[in-house]
Structure 1
Amino acid sequence: MTTAKKKQPVPPLGAVVHGTVEARQGARLGTRYLARARWTHPATHKRETASATFGSDVEAHAWLDEQRSIARTGQNPGQTLEDYIAGLGERWARSIDRTSTFDPYAAGLKLRVIPELGHLPVGMITAGLIDRAIDRWEKTSGHSTVKNTVAALVHVLDDAVRDGLLPRNPAKDRARRKQPGQVKDGSDVNPRELALPDVATLNKLVAAVVEAGGDQCWGDMVLLLATTGMRISEVSGLVVGDVDLKAGLIYVRRQKYPGRGGLIVKSTKGRRNRVVPIIEPARKTLERLTPVGRPDDSPLIKGPRGGTITTATLRDATNWDKLVKDLGIAGLVRHGLRHTALTWMADSGVQLHVLQRVAGHQDPAMTARYLHPDHRALIDAGARFGAWWSQSGHKKGPGEGDEDAAETA
């Protein structure tokens, strides 16, 4: 157990730390080891000293190594995660979108990471500790909340790796754990399973949301999502000038959704503009939404009162959860309409690289999940191999004999 003096100076960055360890005998506690660290402050040129007492020589020298590490890196490897996060300020979020993901990430650190792991020294945090923390978070929070929490922890520990406090980031890939018996919440489910079963069900859904919400705009949004593969924020970000009916294309250039301080208009996810095709079932709707004379910069689709349609407003205005349950598609979320479009495009024979462009995915492996598991090519390959086998047979190599004959003999 350490009995370090309070409010001792900490070696500043760049200082050369010298240390000694002195064994001291005590009548009550036996042998104790006093470690002293000394340095000259690079700025003030004053001599400074810190000391601590330990129960073993090993602990005392480890403490001196820690003081030298502080002077070398500017970071204390023994500091708690809570102190480290406080010292970082918002530097961990330098690559985070401040208009959208910053707030849920910061909330994850404050409400879950610090209460669960904040008391631990940064260097003691392991993948196992993080796994057990996630197990507890999953009992009280949804998948998105846990995902945001782990993502924030990943950013913090990335900084810890850069500061030399950890050899590697133990939080990487922890939100994608696959464990026996883990309840499916959509995170590991193939997106095909989240799509609508057929066009007839889509037509019923469109009619139902119009009736429930009392306005055609809700049906228009559902139809466009299920025929373009766009995200709801991207459809909300469309303006009349983005629709080229003559060419049969929609130009996806921006997204609009609630963020810090109100509605946010920004570039698409991945910051890449893309183009999606207009199919015939959506053409009449788009023709109605882009009449002659309507300004090109007018929002393509608006709510009943002229506002922006978001996933939350669509849910609330149509009593979405009850509506889809009554239609026999309980569990369908608004994002499932994007999965529907991409799944049906894949089933129609759209090539993988084209489907990737339509979806706006950077990783083709993500797009490949929408492809139907077609075994016909494998069956055909097996048939061809079987035909070759029956015609040519297996040619014996040098030294190969007839095993059956040998056994009989």
Structure 2
Amino acid sequence: MPQKKKTTAGKVRWVGRYRDRQGKEHSKTFDTQREAKAWEAEQQRAMRRGEWVDPSTHKITVSEALERWASRPGLRESSRAAYATVAANLGPIADVPLAELRRRDTDDWATMLIKGRPWRGGQTVSEGTAQRWVHVVSAAVSLAVDDGLIARNPIKAPRVKASRSVSRSQIPTSAQVAAIVERLEAGGAEYMERGTLRTQGPRPDIADMVRTAVGTGMRISELCGLRVQDVDFLRRVVRVEQQAAPAGDGLLPLKTRASRREIAVADDLLEVLDRWCAGQPMGERVFRRAGGHPIGRVGAGAALRITTGFLGLPVTFHSLRHYYASLLIDSGVSVAGVRAAMGHESASMTLSVYVHLWPGAEDQTRAAISGAVSRAGFLRDRGEDSGGRFYVSAG
């Protein structure tokens, strides 16, 4: 029962008290006995339902919860790096206490990721990336629930509509790719950096990375992790066996078994790769900066963005991967062949991404019956009678 007490000023206050399952006493002061009694009953009810949370843990923030999630033992370094990327992009929800987090907060955050991140100069991420990041935060919050830090996870499921499907309009044309390569080699792309107009110098290294991307469909992490020993000039294949770390010069295992693959390459690309591999140690990274250090994922992406931004083309290394896939599909490569070359886990994943690029049933029907009518002689004679009506003579 609440206890009555007087303040030094003589005002009557009511103190509600209860003990948790560990015997620790908790108290809170109210203006009325009714409020104190209701609070005691609420806490007792929460303990009976298993929903009670120690008030001392209510101040843990989203950022701290994600840090706990990322520090679990047994995680791969690539997973820790991915979680670090999410942590760096929490934006307005980073310092929100979990006890105050609402689903609307993460919905608004996901929308901000897609439409433009103020903390990253308005840069956007894809809907799929935003959805994955919300899932990561949700998993971190669920861990906090399991540990008794909060009562429930308000993030039931991301309300971000994500579609993997790629349309033709999202894939750069051959002319656009050529323009990007030409500008990278020549330099001259202008960009703003901290309020100062700068000009990008020639980047033949990034130009050759673009050429390799369109000739192999490799991910940016795989391109940056490519070693001299991974290029088999005799068999004319490139082996994908590891990926570059998100930061630094380290290498990490590939994310899935399907990502480990051999890609058949054309002779013109082998000429490009030979420029970088000739005379180099087998363990050396193929694409290197002037000082010999490997070109990193962040640096390569930034250099390409400067050029594509200057040209007004929304093209990334991932766009070039889609370009490569479209070339395979347009050349009649089967779903299984595209899946293997792209390193997808399943044919269903390949179809979900590129379903709109394969000829549809209507196109196949037209191709199958093309010329059938004329070959049968049905339209041997056609004209217009005196009444203005069309007629067809079967002959």
When normalised by structure 1's length, the TM-score is 0.65
Q: Do the aligned partners of 2:62 and 2:141 also contact (CA within 8 Å) in 1?
A: no
Which deviates further from its counterpart, 89-98 or 296-305? 89-98
1:285 aligns with 2:260: no
Change (3 A) 1:88 1:209: closer
Tell me the residue number matched to 1:155.
139
The letter for the 2-side match of 1:220 is D
What secondary structure, in the 3-state scheme, does the structure 2 residue paired with 1:263 have?
coil
Structural mapping, 1:228-243, within 5 Å: 228-243=216-231
What secondary structure, in the 3-state scheme, does the structure 2 residue paired with 1:50 have?
strand
| Whole-angstrom distance in 1 between the partners of 2:65 and 2:227 | 41
Aligned residues: 329
What secondary structure, in the 3-state scheme, does the structure 2 residue paired with 1:36 have?
strand
Query: How big is each residue's C-alpha offset from its partner over 1:296-342, in whole Å with a ceiling of 9 and x where there is no partner?
Result: 223223233323223543466574135533xxxx2222332122112
Query: How big is each residue's C-alpha offset from its partner over 1:144-197, in whole Å with a ceiling of 9 and x where there is no partner?
Result: 4993863552232221343464566625334x337xxxxxxxx87726433222
The letter for the 2-side match of 1:103 is A
Structural mapping, 1:204-243, within 5 Å: 204-212=179-187, 213-214=201-202, 216-243=204-231
Picking from 7, 17, 26, the partner of 1:50 is 26
Q: Do the aligned partners of 1:315 and 1:321 also contact (CA within 8 Å) in 2?
A: no
Change (3 A) 1:312 1:114: closer
Which deviates further from its counterpart, 334-343 or 56-65? 56-65
Tell me the residue number matched to 1:375.
360
What secondary structure, in the 3-state scheme, does the structure 2 residue paired with 1:100 have?
helix
Q: Do the aligned partners of 1:242 and 1:251 also contact (CA within 8 Å) in 2?
A: yes
Tell me the residue number matched to 2:294.
308
| Whole-angstrom distance in 2 between the partners of 1:197 and 1:39 | 66
| Whole-angstrom distance in 1 between the partners of 2:282 and 2:42 | 68
Change (3 A) 1:275 1:172: farther
* Structure 2 gaps, min length 5: 7-11, 188-200, 370-395
- In the TM superposition, what is the alpha-carbon distance from 1:48 to its structure 2 partner? 4.8
Q: Do the aligned partners of 2:5 and 2:15 also contact (CA within 8 Å) in 1?
A: no
- In the TM superposition, what is the alpha-carbon distance from 1:225 to its structure 2 partner? 0.5
- In the TM superposition, what is the alpha-carbon distance from 1:348 to its structure 2 partner? 2.0
Query: How big is each residue's C-alpha offset from its partner over 1:58-78, in whole Å with a ceiling of 9 and x where there is no partner?
Result: 543111234567xx7894389
Change (3 A) 1:92 1:32: same
Change (3 A) 1:257 1:269: same
Change (3 A) 1:126 1:101: same
The letter for the 1-side match of 2:230 is D
| Whole-angstrom distance in 1 between the partners of 2:64 and 2:276 | 52
The letter for the 2-side match of 1:121 is A
| Whole-angstrom distance in 2 between the partners of 1:107 and 1:201 | 32
1:266 aligns with 2:252: yes
Tell me the residue number matched to 2:87.
106
The letter for the 2-side match of 1:351 is S
- In the TM superposition, what is the alpha-carbon distance from 1:364 to its structure 2 partner? 4.2
What secondary structure, in the 3-state scheme, does the structure 2 residue paired with 1:362 have?
coil
Q: Do the aligned partners of 2:4 and 2:15 also contact (CA within 8 Å) in 1?
A: yes
* Structure 1 gaps, min length 5: 1-20, 42-46, 179-186, 385-409
Structural mapping, 1:135-146, within 5 Å: 135=111, 138=115, 140=118, 141-144=122-125
Change (3 A) 1:276 1:172: farther
1:65 aligns with 2:40: no
Change (3 A) 1:77 1:355: farther
| Whole-angstrom distance in 1 between the partners of 2:310 and 2:63 | 45
Q: Do the aligned partners of 1:34 and 1:53 also contact (CA within 8 Å) in 2?
A: yes
The letter for the 2-side match of 1:50 is H
Q: Do the aligned partners of 1:238 and 1:299 also contact (CA within 8 Å) in 2?
A: yes
Change (3 A) 1:155 1:38: closer
Which deviates further from its counterpart, 354-363 or 307-316? 307-316
Q: Do the aligned partners of 1:53 and 1:60 also contact (CA within 8 Å) in 2?
A: no
Percent identity of equivalent pairs: 22
Q: Do the aligned partners of 1:108 and 1:149 also contact (CA within 8 Å) in 2?
A: no
Q: Do the aligned partners of 1:195 and 1:336 also contact (CA within 8 Å) in 2?
A: yes
* Aligned-residue CA RMSD (Å): 4.1
